[in-house]
Amino acid sequence: MTETCYSKGQKVILVTTQTKNGKWSCKFLIPGSSHLDDGPQGHDSAKGHSTEWEARTHAFQRAKLMLEGPLNVTQGHLPAKA
């Protein structure tokens, strides 16, 4: 499934897929950027997320970090869950 979101006026395209084991993963693309998200580094795609919403939310958080500054994403820093 593909969904378009916006952060700081920038378009973010989320692409969600479900694996054979029923888990969900989501990648993002920021048009006009050379960055194509392959998911978090060190993430085992076989594990994935339990829900589609969880996968999309996590991908959108990574996209927002990329828009704020690429150093945050490459160093693997994500905000703590509340």
Judged against a pLDDT cut of 50, whether residue 3 lies above it is answered with: yes
**9 dihedral zone (left: phi>0; alpha: psi -120 to 50; beta):** left
**Residue 62: inside a domain:** yes
**Residue 65: inside a domain:** yes
Judged against a pLDDT cut of 70, whether residue 63 lies above it is answered with: yes
Q: What is the pLDDT of residue 68?
A: 83
H-run or E-run covering 4: strand 2-7
Q: How many structural domains is the chain composed of?
A: 1
Judged against a pLDDT cut of 50, whether residue 10 lies above it is answered with: yes
**Residue 19: inside a domain:** yes
Amino acid at 6: Y
Q: What is the pLDDT of residue 46?
A: 60
Q: Any idea of the CA torsion for 82, 52, 78, 2, to the nearest 10 degrees?
A: -130
Q: What is the mean pLDDT of the chain?
A: 78
Paired tokens of 37? 């998200």
3-state secondary structure of 60: helix
